[in-house]
Amino acid sequence: MLYARVATSAKKADVDMLLDYQLSPLSGEPGNRVLVPLGNRKVEGIIVQVVDSTEVEQVKPVEKILDDTCLASPMMELAHWVARRAGCSLAAVLFAMLPPRRKALPMGLKLVSPGEKLSVKQLAVVRLMSDGNVRTKAEITRQLGISASPVDALVSKGVLDKAPLIISADFPDWHLDEVEHLTARQKQVLADIAEASHDLSWPGKFLIQGVAGSGKTEIYIRLARQVVEKGGQVLVMVPEIALTAQLVARFRAAFGEKVAVLHSGLEDRVRSDYWRGVDRGEFPVVVGTRSAVFAPLKRLRLVLMDEEHEPAYKQEEAPRYHARDVALYRAERENALVLLGSATPSLETMYQARKGVYKLLTMPERIFRCQLETKLVDMREELQAGNRSVFSRELRNSIDQTLARGEQVILFLNRRGLAPTVLCRNCGFRYTCSHCSTGLTLHSSNLLRCHYCDRSVVLPSKCPRCNSPYLRKLGQGTQKLEEVLAEYYPGHTVLRLDSDSAGSAVARERLLQRFYRGEANILVGTQMIAKGLDFPNVTLVGVMLADLSLAMADFRAAERTFQLVAQAAGRAGRAEKQGRVVIQTYQPEHYSLRFAMQEDYQGFYNYEIAQRKQAMLPPYSNLARIVISSERQQNMERQTETILNELATLSGWEIIYSGPPPFEKLKGSYRWHVLLRQQQCGEDFSQLNAVRKTFKRTANARVVFDYNPVNLM
């Protein structure tokens, strides 16, 4: 008789328990997905171990083996490590490692008939959908600033119907010139890697710090080719598929059908097929986002991680792993070489490189030595000169000139919507979300929305507190900017890319392709568009308000600002044309902006690392964050007290903050967070894991452990 130890149910992700079930007469092995009874329910689980005896009396049988996917034993071992590092249960990691089951397709809506007798809003929906694209309901309502009911009505009328959301990640018309001769610098970098790794046979760690357009991608491709020729497999990690479509396309061009793509924007069936194909060893190259770090590659010899500094590599829900951490650990165990790349490496990574953990390679020059002119504009001076517009004279003139030449413009504004604040001019009342401690953003002439819980309310015509009709809309978001631009430049098309206009990877890909094909001259977006896109006709990049990221309540605010501005500047002047970058700010003296303007990464690093050292913040210490939340304040407080008592017994960890986080209330829950610091080399979360396991998760308070947190809000 055989028994299976099963890790169950992703829902109880914090419960670390393996349950025994009778396996015989079924045949299953560790790594198989199974259905098992739990209480009076049936839940999914994954077999962790098969044993021939159990201490459980009246053991229940495994209901069935769910499918033929199976995690190989190195992946099962990796899962244990990840669970410890991510402060979660083994089950949560195992479920993240497996491909989605073939049900639950991500579905959107599609126009199937023109319909008749439609209301104005329904007509607007039909007009939007007439381009034939599949969109989610949320995408439609957001884009048009309407409620869900017109959409629902169209579905019941049979005008809209369900259709799967699929991202192709193929940009068929990207210009992909073959690179014939490497530059001297590229040859040197490849030679350095070959030498340090004994022709890629040694699992070395490398970091390329190379400005945008310096030819890093070409290095990745050449290395990958060498590995594939020797029968090895390559994992290529990108922060987001749609925004790094060009890199994906270049790997596709170089390796054709040998490239598997793994990311959550894929139809489940496609993703699952790729996963199985990779598992069978059919794909020598896998390109994917964060979760692709768990791709079942068996001959992994090279891990390439582009834009290694991107926060998107950290998962913000259980399992809270950092893909870079996992990639490094995996590579070491599987004897693979790791190459991280970025124009602006994270402070943590550069610190390691300076210590010699990574071999540092630099590519300081662009392949096409275009003229790039950067300007920092002090918006206070604009105001003094009587210019109250969101555009400085400098930026406005630059846009005029760029459009006149038939070239393209990208403008960044890190804020969505029309107006971030609506204020009563009489009593100062400010509209805030009743469920979150955040302001509401105006999204259409009368719709206010919360960016955190998505709740929306209609803007009344009078102040709810003093009844004054003088409500003032303050500040601007991307949507407003789009409107203003349409007014200033009536002959030109403006596209907007943010999570309202393009919430899914599919929508982002579609929008970027349109811009690439020249269907619009101006692209407005949040920081989303600051990543590695290469648009040869873009010669002007404007950052509308660099101060927004500086104002974040986060010790990484300066680093993020530096990265944002440096990356944004990298979007201009990629080809032979002259490029121009205009950064608008109220704090032109801020060091992160100064260094970014001079493209002085090392200067920024030296300055910032000194600050971190003084404050004993990462990379000079390890942080852990515990967030306690409940819909009832009392429950939250009680749970916090219990945890604080437990934490008091720890050694080596000090509490550096215990109090409400910047968002005290979120989605209707009261929140508290505790930040802990460990001042030592090497990371050890075992004590915290022990605490995590001692308290029983109660139904009324949620506790989340986040190690090496990236998000402190």
| Interface with Zn ion (CB under 5 A) | 424, 426-427, 429, 433, 435-436, 450, 452-453, 463, 465-466, 468
466 is in the binding site of which of ligand ADP, Zn ion, none (Cβ under 5 to 8 A by kind)? Zn ion
Q: Which of 677, 641, 674 is nearest to 659 (CA)?
A: 674
Q: Which residue's structure tokens are 């680093």?
A: 559
Binding to ligand ADP, residues 234-263 (CB under 6 A): none
Q: Which residue lies nearer to Zn ion by CB, 468 or 700? A: 468
Of the pair 183, 432, the CB lying nearest ligand ADP is at 183
Query: Given the complex with ligand ADP, which of 279 and 306 has the nearer CB atom?
Result: 306
In the list Zn ion, ligand ADP, none, the entry touching 427 (Cβ below 5 to 8 angstroms by class) is Zn ion
468 contact choice in ligand ADP, Zn ion, none (CB below 5 to 8 Å, kind-dependent): Zn ion
Q: How far apart are CA 14 and CA 481, in angstroms?
A: 43
**Beta strand ranges found along 72-216 (DSSP E):** 107-111, 160-164, 205-210
CA pair distance 244, 572, nearest whole angstrom:
16
Backbone angle region of 213, left / alpha / beta, with phi > 0 → left and psi within -120 to 50 → alpha: left
Kindly tell me which residue out of 186, 501, 687, 689 binds ligand ADP, with binding defined by CB under 6 A.
186
59 contributes a contact to ligand ADP by CB under 6 A: no
User: Nearest distance from residue 494's CB to ligand ADP, in Å?
Assistant: 26
**Residue with Cβ nearer ligand ADP (49 or 183):** 183
User: For ligand ADP, how many residues bind (rule: CB under 6 A)?
Assistant: 16
* Cβ contact 38:9 at 8 Å: yes
Which phi and psi angles does 19 have, rounded to 5°? -110, 145
**Which positions ≥6 away from 205 have C-beta within 8 Å?**
328, 331, 337, 338, 340, 357, 358, 359
Distance (Å, whole) CA 534 – CA 524: 16
In angstroms, what is the minimal distance from the CB of 437 to Zn ion?
9
Smallest gap, in angstroms, from Cβ of residue 162 to ligand ADP?
38
Contact mark string toward ligand ADP, 158..177, x via CB under 6 A:
-------------------x
Minimal distance in Å, beta carbon 450 to Zn ion? 3
Query: Which listed option, Zn ion, ligand ADP, none, makes contact with residue 215 (CB within 5 to 8 Å by class)?
Result: ligand ADP
C-beta of 176 vs 385, nearer to ligand ADP? 176
Q: How many CA atoms lie within 13 A of 13 on its CB side?
A: 19
* Distance, C-alpha 6 to centroid of its chain: 31
**Stretch 510-549: interaction string toward ligand ADP, x if CB under 6 A:** ------------------------x---------------
C-beta separation of 417 from 454 below 8 A: no
182 binds ligand ADP (CB under 6 A): yes
When the beta carbons of 201 and 371 are compared against ligand ADP, the nearer one is 371
DSSP secondary structure string, 450-518? Answer: -TTT--EEEPPSS-TTT--S-EEEES--HHHHHHHHHHH-TTS-EEEESTTT--SHHHHHHHHHHHHTT
Q: Tell the smallest beta-carbon distance from residue 221 to ligand ADP (Å).
A: 8
H or E element, residue 645: helix 633-647
The residue (of 468 and 611) whose beta carbon lies closer to Zn ion is 468
Least distance from Zn ion to the Cβ atom of residue 634, Å: 21
Among 179, 196, 457, 597, binds ligand ADP (CB under 6 A): 179
Kindly give the pairing relationship between strand 18-22 and strand 3-8: antiparallel
Q: Report the nearest approach of ligand ADP to the CB of residue 306 (Å).
A: 8
Which of the listed partners (ligand ADP, Zn ion, none) does 424 bind, with a CB threshold of 5 to 8 Å by partner kind? Zn ion
CB of 246 to ligand ADP, least distance (A): 7
382 binds, among Zn ion, ligand ADP, none (CB under 5 to 8 A by kind): none
Min dist CB 508 to Zn ion, Å, is 24
- 188 contact choice in Zn ion, ligand ADP, none (CB below 5 to 8 Å, kind-dependent): none
Check residue 51 and give left, alpha or beta (phi > 0: left; psi -120 to 50: alpha).
Answer: beta
Is 497:511 a contact under the CB 8 Å cutoff? yes
Partner from Zn ion, ligand ADP, none contacting 453, C-beta within 5 to 8 A by type: Zn ion
Phi, psi of 255 (to 5 degrees): -120, -5
CA distances from 374 to 328, 572, 581 (A): 36, 10, 5
**Coil/strand/helix, residue 430:** strand
Helix (H, G, I), strand (E, B) or coil at 402: helix
Strands 205-210 and 359-363 come out as parallel
CA distance 191 to 494: 45
Q: How far is the CB of 453 from Zn ion (least distance, A)?
A: 3
Q: Which does 182 bind (CB under 5 to 8 A by kind): Zn ion, ligand ADP, none?
A: ligand ADP
Instruction: Report the partner that residue 69 touches, choosing among Zn ion, ligand ADP, none (CB closer than 5 to 8 A by kind).
Output: none
Least distance CB 455 / Zn ion (angstroms): 5
Q: Which of residues 365-384 bind ligand ADP (CB under 6 A)?
A: 367
- Smallest gap, in angstroms, from Cβ of residue 51 to ligand ADP? 50
Window 201-230: residues binding ligand ADP (CB under 6 A)? 210, 212-218
Cβ distance to ligand ADP smaller for residue 182 or 360:
182
Which residues lie below 8 Å from residue 658, measured CB to CB, with a gap of 6+? 640, 644, 672, 673, 674, 675
- Shortest spacing between CB 181 and ligand ADP, in angstroms: 6
Does the protein bind ligand ADP through residue 307 (CB under 6 A)? no
Contact set for ligand ADP, span 310-369 (CB under 6 A): 367
Q: What 8-state DSSP symbol labels residue 526? A: -
Q: Are 140 and 125 in contact (CB under 8 A)?
A: yes
Taking the C-alpha atoms of residue 373 and residue 708, their distance in angstroms, rounded to an integer, is: 37
Residues near ligand ADP (CB under 6 A) are 177, 179, 181-183, 186, 210, 212-218, 367, 534
